[in-house]
Amino acid sequence: MSPHPHAPLTVNGETQFYDNNGNLLGGGGRNIIWDGENRPIEIRAGGIVAFVYGPDGARLKKTVKTDSSDVGRTTLFLGPDFERAPGPTATPDRGQWTLYPHPDIRLQPGAGGESAVVHRDHLASPRRLTRAVSGTPLAATIHRAFGEKIVVSGAAALDTHGYIGEREDAELGLVYLNARVYDPKTGRFLSPDSLDPTLPGVGTNRYAYSLNDPINLRDPGGNEANLPGESPSDATRDYEAAVANNDPGLASQLAGNNEWSATQEHIFNEINAVAQAWWAGAALPTLHQNPVPGATAAIPPGVVQPGGFGFSSMNLAAMAALEIYNAKSIMFNIEFGGLFYEQKGKYGYTAVSGTIDTLDPNPARNPAGTTMTGDWHTHGAEKATHSVNVFSPQDIEGAHQLRGISGYAGYTSYLGTPSAGYLTYEPGSGKPFSGRYGNLK
């Protein structure tokens, strides 16, 4: 018996089983194991599909196995628009990267990849994929009213992005809608909604998708329905959630922080420039040091452009640097790094290619009236030689050396990891802080 109203007890004659939290345990040929946060960590349906989640709660890995003895094939998710699928069965380590710098643009660098233009319907579900340069067809799909996908052609060219632009688990016939997992065949979620049913877009049916109106509404977040192109209805609640989850970038954006909005615009322009170079087969564009208005010219490494001190805190400058360069670092497996400077209460940063050892802290090159307050660097893609998702001993040693040169008491080192995490290290206290944005406040 279901402990929650509206939970289906039978589907097509098959009994459905639930735990005390209302999460579906079995039915429809699936057996599901949930973690303490009410997220599925393993689903068995013929084979085994296991999931790992990141510090921010978003899905980080999916491993598909034929049975419990199989090591499996793992897909890595680095945010909603960036992923690495496993390579061919014989060489699974040769994975395929997929990047969406824009919802209608898909980039797949390397052999076997197909960069494409995505043609979507009014709900943002892809209907056609065409080659980016020639425009010739790659794939065609149709989705039924509640999201069940029908592949018309080109199945091999598809990636995980499907119904309403979110990720589909083709092995399971399910759709990952961030907060919850959705079954388009039944039009129901596998777990109940946790939000207040009196909030707009939520409703009293805890399992229903988009208030049972999938033609006009969509629910990409998994908690509340909204019109296509519309943000979640309660901005105040979203802001409070961002603060509670220690996500200052989102919180600043929702609060109308123009500084962060300008940063996001420049991040988008940077990624678009990379995409255009990829398509044309040209060299990558010159990297910009400070993504703030009036600071878009190339700058000699180690020197902050005069007038480029556009951030009110070093943490905001770090977020801007890591948002841009960590994605590029993972994409191309190149390490980037730079230094932070303060001038009259405002902060700027520099950027160079290379490890923390390549940073040039020579005070003679600093603009007049500035103080070096910190450094940042990335670790590129995954490597087998050492754990790259933490500060290495060399990183920590370098941070202490740079702090000694700077003399700044609050000196802080920032790291962007291959799992898209951001970490900080304070040489003065010797205590690292971890998380999606570490202790960036």
How many domains, in total, are found in the chain? 2
Q: In what order do the strands lie in the sheet with 188-189?
A: 167-169, 174-177, 180-183, 188-189
d(CA 207, CA 188): 5
pLDDT for res 297: 33
Residue 252 has pLDDT above 50, yes or no: no
Of the given ranges (72-86, 111-125, 161-175, 352-366), which has the lowest mean pLDDT?
352-366
Please provide the average confidence, as pLDDT, over all residues in the chain. Answer: 75
Residue 120 and residue 15 share a domain: yes
Residue 439 has pLDDT above 60, yes or no: no
Asked if residue 241 belongs to a domain, the reply is: no
Asked if residue 155 belongs to a domain, the reply is: yes
In single-letter form, the type of residue at position 32 comes to I
pLDDT band at residue 365 using 50, 70 and 90 as cut-offs? low
Contacts of 148 (CB under 8 A, 6+ apart): 173, 184, 185
Residue 251 has pLDDT above 80, yes or no: no
pTM of the model: 0.55
DSSP characters over 332-369: HT--EEEEEEEETTEEEE--EES-GGG----GGGSPTT
Residue 289 and residue 175 share a domain: no
- pLDDT tens column, 293-309: 333 333 333 344 333 56
Residue 201 and residue 321 share a domain: no
Asked if residue 246 belongs to a domain, the reply is: no
Which of 208, 227, 246 is a domain's end point? 227
pLDDT for res 350: 77
pLDDT for res 95: 79
Residue 284 and residue 203 share a domain: no
Neighbouring-strand partners of residue 167: 161, 176
| 106: containing domain | 10-227
pLDDT for res 165: 93
d(CA 388, CA 428): 23
- Continuous H helices in 58-101: none
Asked if residue 398 belongs to a domain, the reply is: yes
Asked if residue 252 belongs to a domain, the reply is: no
- pLDDT tens column, 183-242: 999 999 999 998 888 777 888 899 999 999 998 889 999 988 877 665 544 444 444 454
Residue 171 and residue 80 share a domain: yes
- pLDDT tens column, 376-401: 888 876 554 445 677 887 788 888 88
Residue 321 and residue 208 share a domain: no
Q: Which of 30-44, 63-77, 419-433 has the highest mean pLDDT?
A: 30-44
Averaged over 66-73, what is the pLDDT?
A: 84
List for the chain the helix, strand, coil content (%; round to 5).
20, 30, 50
pLDDT for res 190: 96
d(CA 197, CA 107): 39
Residue 271 and residue 216 share a domain: no
Residue 214 and residue 353 share a domain: no
pLDDT for res 68: 78
- pLDDT tens column, 121-153: 889 999 999 988 788 899 999 899 999 998 888
Averaged over 74-87, what is the pLDDT?
A: 88
Tokens found for residue 261: 């909005």
Residue 320 and residue 213 share a domain: no
Residue 403 has pLDDT above 50, yes or no: yes
Residue 107 and residue 169 share a domain: yes
Of the given ranges (251-265, 388-402, 424-438), which has the lowest mean pLDDT?
251-265
Residue 281 and residue 203 share a domain: no
Which of 177, 208, 227 is a domain's end point? 227
| Residues 379, 388 contacting (CB under 8 angstroms) | yes
